[in-house]
C-alpha cells in the first residue's frame, strides 16, 4: 500500500484538479473551492481509519472528541458552572479519543471493509447526508461534497493498488487486489453491516436528480472542454504541491 505521504500528495493533486474543474465549469462558486478541496484531501486519507498506527485515524478521533465534547457541553451552559462544564468536556473528549478509539481499533482489521467499494459508498453517502441534514446545504452542493470525499477515497484505494508497500515503507507486499475490492471476503459480517449502512444512508440522502440533470445538460455535452479543465487543474495542483514542498524544505533548512 502507499504510505501516508503518498496518499496526502495524491489527495492534494486530485482534489485540486477536481475542484478547479468544478469551478471552471460553473458547478461551484469560488467560496466553496477550499471546503471542497479539503473534503477531497480528507477522503483520500479516510481508508486508513482501520489501521491502529494510522495518523489519519488518530487525528480523526481527536477531532471527533473535540466536536462531540463541544456538542454535549454547549447546551448545558445554563445548568452547570464553568468548572463543571470543563470537567464534562474533558470527560467526553477522553472517552471518545481513547475509549471509542480503542473499541474501534479492536473491531476493525486493516485493509478490510474500509478498503472496498462499500467503504467508498459509505463515506460518500455519509458526507452527502451530513451536508444536507446538518450543514443545511441544498441537494446539489450536498452531493458534490459527498462526491469529493468519494473521489478522494477512491484515489487512496487506487494508490494502494499501485504502491504495494506497508505503512512505514519497510518492505514491498504482494497485496494487489486487496484494496480496491467490492467487499471484504474475510469479514462477511462486516460487509453485510456496511451494506446495511449504505442502504440506510442512500434512503436518507436527498434526491440527486437536479445534479444529474445539470450534468447531462451542461457538462457532458462538451466533454472536450471538461477534459481541458481537468488537465489545467492537474497542472495547477502539481504546481501548488511543488511550491508548498519547496517552502517546507526551505523552512526545515532554516531550522
180 sits in the region (left: phi over 0; alpha: psi -120 to 50; else beta) called beta
pLDDT on residue 151: 94
pLDDT on residue 102: 75
Contact in structure between 191 and 184 (CB atoms under 8 Å):
yes
Three-state secondary structure readout of the chain: CCCHHHHHHHHHHHHHHHHHHHHHCCCCCHHHHHHHHHHHHHHHHHHHHHCCCCHHHHHHHHHHHHHHHHHHHHHHCCCCCHHHHHHHHHHHHHHHHHHHHHHHHHHCCCCCCCCCHHHHHHHHHHHHHHHHHHCCCCHHHHHHHHHHHHHHHHHHHHHHHHCCECCCCCCECCCCCCCCCCCCCCCHHHHHHHHHHHHHHHHHCCCCHHHHHHHHHHHHHHHHHHHHHHHHHHHHHHHHHHHHHHHHHHHHHHC
Phi, psi of 172 (to 5 degrees): -90, 140
Nearest to residue 190, comparing CAs of 114, 134, 137, 129? 114
Three-state secondary structure readout of 90-128: HHHHHHHHHHHHHHHHHHCCCCCCCCCHHHHHHHHHHHH
pLDDT on residue 180: 77
pLDDT on residue 152: 93
CA distance 115 to 17: 23
pTM of the model: 0.71
pLDDT on residue 245: 58
pLDDT by residue for the chain (255 residues), tens only, comes to: 566 777 788 888 888 888 888 887 778 877 888 889 988 988 888 887 766 565 666 776 777 788 778 877 877 888 888 888 899 999 988 988 888 777 766 666 666 788 889 999 999 999 999 889 888 889 999 999 999 999 999 998 888 877 665 545 555 555 555 667 887 777 788 889 889 999 999 999 999 888 877 766 555 545 555 566 666 666 666 666 666 556 655 554 554
pLDDT on residue 12: 86
Sequence-distant (≥ 6) Cβ neighbours of residue 42 within 8 angstroms: 11, 149, 152
Sequence-distant (≥ 6) Cβ neighbours of residue 43 within 8 angstroms: 11, 123, 127, 148, 149, 150, 151, 152, 153, 155, 156
Interval 173-200: pLDDT, tens: 555 556 678 877 777 888 898 899 999 9
pLDDT on residue 76: 83
pLDDT on residue 2: 60
Amino acid at each position: 500500500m502507499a504510505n501516508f505521504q503518498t496518499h496526502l500528495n495524491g489527495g492534494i493533486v486530485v482534489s485540486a484538479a477536481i475542484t478547479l474543474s468544478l469551478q471552471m465549469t460553473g458547478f461551484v462558486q469560488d467560496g466553496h473551492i477550499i471546503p471542497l478541496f479539503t473534503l477531497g484531501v480528507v477522503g483520500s486519507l479516510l481508508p486508513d481509519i482501520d489501521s491502529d498506527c494510522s495518523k489519519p485515524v488518530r487525528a480523526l478521533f481527536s477531532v471527533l472528541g473535540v466536536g462531540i465534547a463541544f456538542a454535549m457541553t454547549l447546551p448545558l451552559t445554563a445548568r452547570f458552572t464553568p468548572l463543571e462544564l470543563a470537567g464534562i468536556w474533558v470527560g467526553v473528549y477522553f472517552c471518545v479519543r481513547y475509549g471509542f478509539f480503542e473499541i474501534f481499533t479492536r473491531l476493525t482489521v486493516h485493509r478490510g471493509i474500509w478498503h472496498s467499494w462499500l467503504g467508498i459508498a459509505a463515506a460518500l453517502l455519509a458526507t452527502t447526508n451530513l451536508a444536507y441534514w446538518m450543514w443545511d446545504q441544498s441537494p446539489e452542493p450536498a452531493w458534490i461534497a459527498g462526491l469529493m470525499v468519494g473521489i478522494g477515497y477512491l484515489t487512496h484505494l487506487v494508490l494502494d493498488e499501485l504502491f504495494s508497500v506497508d505503512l512505514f515503507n519497510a518492505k514491498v507486499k504482494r497485496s494487489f487486489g486487496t484494496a480496491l475490492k467490492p467487499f471484504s471476503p474475510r469479514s462477511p459480517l462486516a460487509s453485510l453491516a456496511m451494506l446495511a449502512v449504505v442502504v440506510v444512508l442512500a434512503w436518507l440522502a436527498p434526491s440527486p436528480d437536479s445534479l444529474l440533470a445539470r450534468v447531462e445538460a451542461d457538462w457532458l455535452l462538451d466533454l472536450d472542454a471538461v477534459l481541458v479543465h481537468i488537465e489545467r487543474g492537474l497542472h495547477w495542483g502539481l504546481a501548488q504541491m511543488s511550491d508548498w514542498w519547496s517552502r517546507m524544505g526551505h523552512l526545515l533548512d532554516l531550522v
